[in-house]
Structure 1
Amino acid sequence: MTMVPSVLLKFLFPPPPSLFVAAMSVITFVSQANAGFSEIRGKHLQYSKFVNVNPTGSGRTQIKISSKTGMVLFYSPALLAGVASFWIFPHEGLRSTILHSAIALHFFKRVFEALFVHKYSGSIVLDSAIPISLSYFLAASTMIYAQHLTQGLPDPPIDLMYPGIVLFLVGITGNFYHHYLLSKLRGKDEKEYKIPKGGLFGFVICPHYLFEIIGFIGVSFISQNLYSFAYASGATCYLMGRSYMTRKWYLSKFEDFPNHVKALIPFVF
């Protein structure tokens, strides 16, 4: 009855009979992949350096909020979902506990960075902030629920949980470090963009996205359910599109931008 190829069942829990999780797996992957292609086509989610890129089209006034407020709005609902999971689905085994911890830690780091690490140069369009916040909340909640549905199912023959923990820790640490480097580019009252330096910035313009992808892959290895792999795959597609356009933006703004610096993957892309 399952449409999942048998080879994947060596790595995944058998998909539970949940129409919601199955639908969310497809919707999440397709929507994120489409968002990545939209970035390449020039239709950006309006935050960071792309906040004023897209025309409004309809001529209606766009509501803007401070970048700090927008970033906190992005991640707080998902953080609450991660924290609440310990009470909603308690005592469901080591894998579920580690997954809940990874989700809560990931979004706690995001909120912490928004409040205390990032330095901001502008605002965020509310029309972008609300769907981004909702998407993170739905992703966290669905991942937690999908893991709950694996209770009582046979474990995958190949256990990826411990490699997943390593990948998650590498991803979250590398992401934080490169966000810290970005925050040090500007002085107290500076708002202009500069070419990032240090860490892997000498090889790619978006190493923070690279490590974010590594972290998402780590979470999918921890959980080993279909939804988490769909989310990690979709997020990779989106961040590839966003990083490609970020590099293109830097090339257009800085004549001295080094051509050997790739978008996301050193020496490759």
Structure 2
Amino acid sequence: MKTLIVIPARIGSTRFPAKPLHQIAGHSLVSRVADVAARVAAARSDTSYVIATDVNAIMDHAAEIGAPAVMTDPDLPSGTDRALAAARAQGEAPDFILNLQGDAPFTPPAYLSALIEAAATTTADVVTPVVQLDWAALDTIRDQKTREPFSGTSCIRRSDGMALWFSKQIIPAIRKEEKLRASEPLSPVFRHIGLYGFRMAALERFASLPVGHYEELEGLEQLRFLENGMSIMTVAVEPGANAMWGIDTPEDARFAEGLIAESGDPMEAPR
């Protein structure tokens, strides 16, 4: 199965201008994400990666760090559309495309490998990782949502892993929670990790469909698949060593530098 990891790296950001080029502990944000993809590609003969950008500055930076890159239309509406454009620009179309967000430098390479392996055994249109929350993690997310109600996404899934729904609300609601806390170490809530793997045909169909009603209400692209009868397989993964997911603001970047200082730099880990 020919797999392409695409790293969308758009220069425009109202909250964090030129974010992909921002230096975090001596390395640009996009180079840190590219390092994650490169580690996965080096371990798999059928996997490659590319940075998909919309400006020459990032193309030039990619050349400096030795990362493959492709120019895409700056007017594309989403990272998913940019991933499709990058896939279409390849000499040979991939079978499977992983959309690795360009602001997620702490993504464990094992998450990408888990999606690639799952795609080889399922006919689902999309595969994506989830983490089952323990009660302490659930309490933390509930507290966070009192300040940032649209932070974090939860998922309801069938016993076979197929997704039923995603929401910015914490789902499911839990009756008799105290009894469940006393008997189970893990809550019934799965947190969605924003990493997607697509069949090429599914990605092309996604791009041809209008924005869905619930997609627009929740601000979640993956709901477009579910609203149109397409299937999403969720893959349960272990929580990462670093709980931080994305870099959205300069404050996030400073916090990330603190985490690297405390816990070590993932770019310096053995390959």
Task: Tell whether the structures are fold-level matches, with TM greater than 0.5.
Answer: no
What is the TM-score when the length of structure 2 is the normalising length?
0.26
Higher relative contact order (CA 8 A, sep 6+): 1
Whose helix fraction is larger, Structure 1's or Structure 2's?
1
What is the TM-score when the length of structure 1 is the normalising length?
0.26
